[in-house]
Amino acid sequence: MSSAAPVFLDTLALAGLLVEQLDDAAPRSALDERILKLGFDLHETITLALLESEPVFILQADECLTRLRAMLALSHELDRFEPEPDSQLLELTESIGRQIGGILRSIEL
């Protein structure tokens, strides 16, 4: 997974943190379900982008991250997360966004 491997690890950590925070929520809200799905989708598209070296996958990952950030902003407004996981989620999404941006700048579209 070459030099882009940190983005794989960050999306894995993000998905794990989301599961840790939302999997035990009872009852789980539609927003929780959407956030979990977007976290999984982001990790899957990053995995495909790294394995297949196809620009379409990194574009899909960027789009998925944008949607996830919107849902996380909404969940923040609704106080769905405790402060510590909330800040960890912010750090991870910022890091993933920078890495996706770097990959996008490095490829010809």
Range among 21-25, 45-49, 84-88 with highest mean pLDDT value: 45-49
| CATH class held by domain 2-106 | mainly alpha
The 3-state DSSP class for residue 53 equals coil
- Which whole number is the average pLDDT over 34-53? 95
* Rounded Cα–Cα distance for residues 23 and 18 (Å): 8
- Which whole number is the average pLDDT over 23-33? 84
Tokens describing residue 25 = 């929520």
> Domain residue spans in the chain?
2-106
Assess whether pLDDT exceeds 70 at residue 36.
Answer: yes
Backbone phi and psi for residue 79, each to the nearest 5 degrees, phi listed first: 55, 45
**How high is the mean pLDDT of the chain?**
90
What crossing angle do the helices spanning 5-22 and 83-106 adopt, rounded to 10°?
A: 150
Helix, strand, coil fractions of the chain, as percent rounded to 5: 85, 0, 15
pLDDT band at 11 (very low <50, low <70, confident <90, very high): very high
